Structures are given as C-alpha cells and as structure tokens.
C-alpha cells in the first residue's frame, strides 16, 4: 500500500539520520540502562526486606518489570513522536501535517523514533530471559512475549494519543499529562494485587496499562486461567486500536462551524495539494 510505504520511508529515514550521531546513541543507551538499574535497585531493596510482595516471588516480579520495560521501549521506538505534541502546539507547526498525502496520525507517530528505546528493548529482553528462568516459567510462554509487548505498546500509545488530544483541546504545553501516563505505566512493574481495588480497575479497565504484563504473568504462575494470557491483552488491544482508528481517520483540520476562515484555508490547501500531487493516499 502506498500509505504504508510512506510511513516506512519516514521512519527509516529518521532512524538512519539519528544513528549517524554515535555519541548520542551511546548516551541514550547508557541513560536507558542506568534508569533500569536504578529502578531495579529500588525493587531489590524492597524485596530484600520483605522476601515477597503479596505472594509474588522476586523472580516473578522481575518478569513484570522486564515486560514493562519492553512495552515502553517498543512504544518509544515506533510511536515516540506523540511526545512532541505540546512543542508543536507552542510553535504552531501542526499545520504542516495538513499537506502530507497520508493520514496525519500514523505519519506523526512513526516519524520520530527514539534511540534510547534500543536500550530499553535490549535491557528488558535480557532481564526477561534472566528472571523467566529464575521463576521457572514455561518455556513455551516465551512465544507469546511478542504478542504481549505489541499489545502493551499499542495500549500505551493509545493512552498517550488521548492525552495529546486533550492537550490540543487545551491549546497549551502541558507536558505533565504525558509524563503522568508513563508514571502510571511504571506502577505496573509491581503486582497489581498490592493496590486498592479502585486502582486495580483503573490499570486493568479504564487505562489498561497493566493488562499486557499482569494478566499474562498471572496466568503463567497459575493465578489465572491460561486463556487470560492471550485473550486479556488482545481484548484491551482491540479497544486501544479502535481509539487509534478514531483519531487516525478523523480530519485534523477545523470544521466550518468551529472556524469558517480556517476551514476555508484548510480546504484550499487540501484541494491545491490534490491538484498538484494526485489523490490522497490511504
């Protein structure tokens, strides 16, 4: 499909450009690994004094920790541009998305991969293999890890897109909303059973950032039926994809009722581009 080809070209070109800065790549990898080490150290201090957490052994919690890191890494690698939304609003540079011959949201998300995500993916993968063995989990479950990570990254990105939509409506640079999403994601490094029921409902239903880690690991350790390892992440992933679809197909430009002058300008730009470059690619 022509649209997919454009998305891939934008992603590959940006990634190749950033990989040319080797010092930046090295610092990004070291920074990501350093943050993982600090968080893992905090977890070790807690478990060293308690021995377990709500019946979860340290190795099982380590698997949760590693899956959360992988989810964040994949989200940052493929969909990181959403973090630039407040800056684009402050600079007034969102208008350039109107003249691209592809859908605005997928192109915007894919066109700015983050290098430190490679550190999260590499470090998270190494920790997952280490803790998986220590927890004596089924080797066959490793085959489902890509599914869990993909679903988790789509859920994480969907929440970020919803927050970005709120920032656009507020017309400001509220970076804090996006950082709040990552803070909520970090809370899923631990067993959700340690939280109050209201917070468990938030992390499993309303902002289901814990579905792709807590449910599968609970199934692998016998706390839930095995079907939850597949159906749980897929169910929430389909809901998140629906939200992404709504925002991806909705027009970025204003409606006539909202701003007649801006609507006419948006229509003129779109029609001029179609006359010069052909029909819009889907």
Residue-wise pLDDT for 4-13, tens only, equals: 777 778 788 8
pTM, entire model: 0.76
Name the token pair of 230.
């597949």
Q: In a 3-state reduction of DSSP, which class is residue 115?
A: coil
Flag whether 106 is in a domain.
yes
When mean pLDDT is compared across 50-64, 108-122, 229-243, the lowest value belongs to 229-243
Q: So what's the pLDDT on residue 200?
A: 87
Q: So what's the pLDDT on residue 113?
A: 81
Mean pLDDT of the chain: 76
Flag whether 261 is in a domain.
no
Q: Work out the pLDDT band at 246, boundaries 50, 70, 90.
A: very low
Flag whether 270 is in a domain.
no
Q: How far apart are CA 33 and CA 63, in angstroms?
A: 17
Q: Which residues, in sequence order, are CB contacts of 217 under 8 Å at separation 6+?
A: 60, 63, 64, 67
In the predicted structure, residue 192 carries a pLDDT above the cut 70: yes
Q: How far apart are CA 140 and CA 248, in angstroms?
A: 36
Name the token pair of 175.
């970076």
Q: So what's the pLDDT on residue 193?
A: 87
Q: In a 3-state reduction of DSSP, which class is residue 46?
A: helix
When mean pLDDT is compared across 33-37, 154-158, 244-248, the lowest value belongs to 244-248
Provide φ and ψ at 227, rounded to 5°.
-60, -25
Q: Work out the pLDDT band at 273, boundaries 50, 70, 90.
A: very low
Q: In a 3-state reduction of DSSP, which class is residue 9?
A: helix
Flag whether 102 is in a domain.
yes
Q: So what's the pLDDT on residue 177?
A: 80
Residue of 155, 120, 125, 117 lying closest to 62 (CA atoms):
125
Name the token pair of 176.
């804090």
Flag whether 6 is in a domain.
yes
Flag whether 187 is in a domain.
yes
In the predicted structure, residue 262 carries a pLDDT above the cut 70: no
Q: So what's the pLDDT on residue 269?
A: 35
Name the token pair of 24.
């930046």
Flag whether 194 is in a domain.
yes
- Tell me how many domains the chain contains: 1
56-112 pLDDT, tens per residue?
888 889 899 999 999 999 998 888 888 888 777 777 777 777 777 777 788 888 888
Name the token pair of 149.
């990570």
DSSP per residue, 222-248: TSS-TTHHHHHHHHHHHHHHHHHHHHH
Q: So what's the pLDDT on residue 172?
A: 61
Q: Produce one character per residue of 125-138: b if its CB has 16 or more CB atoms within 10 Å, e if not.
A: bebbeebbeebebe
Q: Which domain holds residue 211?
A: 2-250
């Amino acid at each position: 499909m022509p649209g997919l080809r454009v998305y891939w070209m934008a992603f590959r070109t940006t990634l190749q450009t950033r990989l040319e800065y080797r010092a930046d790549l090295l610092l990004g990898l070291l920074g990501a690994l350093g943050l993982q080490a600090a968080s893992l150290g905090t977890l070790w201090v807690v478990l060293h004094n308690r021995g377990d957490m709500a019946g979860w052994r340290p190795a099982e919690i380590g698997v949760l920790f590693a899956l959360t890191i992988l989810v964040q890494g994949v989200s940052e690698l493929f969909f990181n541009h959403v973090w630039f939304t407040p800056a684009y609003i402050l600079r007034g540079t969102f208008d350039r998305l109107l003249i691209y011959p592809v859908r605005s949201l997928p192109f915007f998300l894919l066109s700015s991969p983050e290098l430190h995500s490679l550190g999260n993916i590499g470090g998270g993968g190494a920790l997952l293999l280490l803790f998986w063995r220590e927890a004596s989990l089924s080797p066959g479950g490793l085959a489902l890890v890509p599914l869990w990570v993909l679903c988790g990254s789509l859920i994480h990105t969907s929440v970020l897109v919803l927050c970005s939509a709120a920032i656009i409506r507020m017309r400001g640079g509220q970076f804090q909303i996006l950082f709040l999403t990552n803070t909520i994601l970090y809370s899923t490094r631990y067993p959700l059973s340690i939280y109050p029921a209201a917070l468990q409902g938030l992390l499993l239903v309303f902002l289901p950032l814990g579905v792709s880690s807590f449910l599968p690991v609970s199934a692998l350790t016998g706390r839930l039926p095995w079907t939850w390892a597949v159906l749980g992440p897929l169910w929430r992933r389909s809901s998140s994809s629906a939200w992404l679809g709504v925002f991806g197909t909705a027009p970025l430009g204003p409606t006539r009722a909202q701003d007649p002058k801006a609507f006419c300008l948006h229509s003129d730009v779109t029609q001029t581009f179609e006359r010069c470059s052909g029909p819009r690619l889907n």
